[in-house]
Amino acid sequence: MIVCVAVVGHQNNPLYLQSFTEADDALKLHHIVHCSLDVIDERVNNPKKTGPTLNETFLGLLYPTENYKVYGYLTNTKVKFIMVTTDLDVRDVDVRNFFRRFHSAYVDAVSNPFHVPGKKITSNTFAQSVRAIVKSFGSSTAV
């Protein structure tokens, strides 16, 4: 189950953060998202030959905690997508598909002529799309 998703701008400014748990976990999940930014910066600035190449947008598992696994995705414009899940057995195919759909919803939201680039995403349509994508996570019929 996905407990949190986030979109973070190229200057590490939060553009969208949504948790799907009780309100008392929101601060902890916000902290986990910010900690994952350090891991993303480390991977981007210090690429390893065995790790993903610089052209790879899917960063994979950033780090596991006791209760969560954190996955990352980096766009060509250095916008970061982060997913926090409680599932300990997640397939990379499902995560890649999730990020592909999440990225597509993000592109639709920022393509709105009334959206100001670099500002928080306040679109209700985007929020509904994200909820639908999160709800369908892990199902093999998701396209």
Question: Alpha helices of the chain — where are they, by DSSP H?
Answer: 26-45, 92-110, 124-135
Q: What pLDDT does 143 receive? A: 46
Angle at 132 between CA 128 and CA 136, to 5 degrees: 170
Cα 25 to Cα 4: distance, rounded to the nearest angstrom: 10
Cα 35 to Cα 51: distance, rounded to the nearest angstrom: 20
Q: How many CB atoms lie within 10 A of CB 103?
A: 16
Tell me the two tokens of residue 29.
């999940």
Q: Which regions in the chain score pLDDT beneath 70? A: 23, 48-55, 139-143
Q: What pLDDT does 27 receive? A: 87
The amino acid occupying position 13 is N
For 110-135, write each residue's pLDDT tens digit.
999 999 998 999 999 999 999 999 99
Q: What pLDDT does 55 receive? A: 59
